[in-house]
Amino acid sequence: FFFVVCYRALIFPLMIREGKPTPFFTFVLALLFCVFNGYLQGRSLTTYATYPPGWLADSRFITGFLGWLIGMAINIHSDHILRNLRKPGETGYKIPRGGMFEYVSGANFFGEILEWFGFALACCTIESFAFALCTLFILSSRARQHHKWYLEKFEDYPKDRKIVIPFLY
């Protein structure tokens, strides 16, 4: 959990080469959301969640941890593809290709959704499942907007790509 937060909040922004500045109000809202969610997840895990002996060997924990790990790898790889679409000095938009972008328009969003559902399964708390559902709804909406934009912008955009969930949506 700590690595994911550090990656998204510190490492990823420092790796972005160029781009539009983020409005301060958007930054503040995102910061407040992350602080509140971090507190909620941490508090539920340290105060309310209880696990039986051997929980780390339980199939729910192992499956959830693997889902989280695979999701994080997809997210990081997809971010890498997006960051490197343009060479230094280039302008304009390009179609992302490679990795999960061969299946969905929102590959980075898919990775993050998978991360948080894996986390929720590994933790088995209401708070973690609530956050996973919020992530699903928010990022699916963003992915739908991106997918629609790609289809409008590029005539040669792959028509068989799904929005955010491979082979389904």
By residue range, what is the domain housing residue 103? 1-50+58-153
> Does residue 158 form part of some domain?
no
> Does residue 137 form part of some domain?
yes
> Does residue 163 form part of some domain?
no
Which residues lie below 8 Å from residue 92, measured CB to CB, with a gap of 6+?
86
Residues in the chain, overall count: 169
> Does residue 43 form part of some domain?
yes
> Does residue 20 form part of some domain?
yes
pLDDT tens per residue, range 99-116 = 999 999 999 999 999 999
> Does residue 160 form part of some domain?
no
Count of domains for the chain: 1
- What pLDDT shows up at residue 153? 96
Which residues lie below 8 Å from residue 22, measured CB to CB, with a gap of 6+?
none
pLDDT tens per residue, range 31-41 = 888 888 889 99
- What pLDDT shows up at residue 9? 59
> Does residue 159 form part of some domain?
no
End-to-end CA distance of the chain: 27
- Dihedral of CA atoms 138, 140, 141, 146 in degrees, nearest 10, equals 130
- What pLDDT shows up at residue 35? 85
- What pLDDT shows up at residue 36? 87
Backbone angles phi, psi at 157, to 5 degrees: -65, 135
> Does residue 84 form part of some domain?
yes
pLDDT tens per residue, range 47-95 = 999 999 999 999 999 999 999 999 999 999 999 999 899 888 888 899 9
- What pLDDT shows up at residue 98? 97
pLDDT tens per residue, range 120-139 = 999 999 999 999 999 999 99
